[in-house]
């Protein structure tokens, strides 16, 4: 088992390699590595990230097969299936770091803000479910001065959503709460910049 702080440092170092275009994980996608993992896995970090095709966690953090337990969903929302997936890895594989990974210019956030401003008729029930998950963390921003600056609005909405997802994982699961209190589980938020390739962690 890798402690949370050590796991976090590994992610930081991997992201620095990625942003500098210096890859280090080729050895971890080899045939030998694949055979080793057939017997079991022990990922050192859980990443709850957005489904956006530009933010694949293994590449962004320069990690290989078996390193990360990745859950991806539009808008990196936290619904029961995502919470259950985090619980599964944290409890079964003793993974002690959970990162909620949002990103700049998130399409799900943009779509939610558009829907809040101009509601559409006959929206898909499934798309509505995503908007409804995002709504509480971003709706209040439309009542501030940010409504006059679309770039700033999206930036703050992305971060508000990351914080809300982190809070949900920290306080919305008895399993995770106990692991945080007794076993050193750490849940942090992070934002990936599409423009720079860098990940900023929000540890507080």
Q: What are phi and psi of 18, to 5 degrees?
A: -60, -50
Residues in the chain: 204
> What are the residue boundaries of the structural domains of the chain, listed by start?
4-202
Least confident of 72-86, 128-142, 174-188, 189-203: 128-142
Cβ neighbors of 1 (< 8 A, separation 6 or more) are 42, 94, 96
52: number of Cβ within 10 Å: 19
Q: What is the per-residue pLDDT across 107-136, written as a single tens digit (0 to 9) for each?
A: 999 999 999 988 888 888 898 899 999 999
The pTM (predicted TM-score) of the whole model is: 0.93
47 close to 68: Cβ distance less than 8 angstroms: yes
Q: What is the per-residue pLDDT across 4-57, written as a single tens digit (0 to 9) for each?
A: 999 999 999 999 999 999 877 565 667 787 888 888 889 999 999 999 999 999
Q: Which CATH number does 4-202 carry?
A: 3.40.1050.10
Q: Give the DSSP letter of residue 140.
A: G
């Amino acid at each position: 088992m890798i402690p949370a702080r050590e796991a976090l440092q590994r992610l930081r170092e991997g992201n620095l390699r990625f942003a500098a275009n210096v890859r280090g994980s080729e050895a971890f996608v080899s045939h030998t590595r694949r055979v080793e993992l057939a017997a079991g896995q022990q990922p050192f970090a859980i990443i709850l990230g957005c489904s956006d095709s530009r933010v694949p966690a293994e590449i962004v953090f320069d990690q290989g097969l078996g390193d990360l337990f990745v859950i991806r969903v539009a808008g990196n929302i936290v619904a029961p299936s995502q919470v259950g997936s985090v619980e599964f890895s944290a409890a079964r594989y003793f993974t002690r770091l959970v990162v909620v990974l949002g990103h700049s210019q998130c399409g799900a956030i943009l779509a939610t803000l558009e829907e809040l401003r101009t509601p559409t008729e006959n929206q898909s029930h499934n798309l509505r479910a995503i908007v409804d998950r995002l709504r509480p963390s971003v709706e209040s921003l439309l009542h501030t001065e940010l409504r006059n600056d679309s770039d700033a609005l999206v930036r703050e909405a992305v971060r508000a959503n990351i914080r809300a997802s982190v809070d949900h994982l920290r306080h919305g699961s008895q399993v995770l709460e106990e692991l945080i209190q007794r076993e050193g589980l750490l849940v942090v938020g992070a934002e990936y910049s599409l423009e720079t390739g860098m990940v900023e962690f929000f540890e507080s």
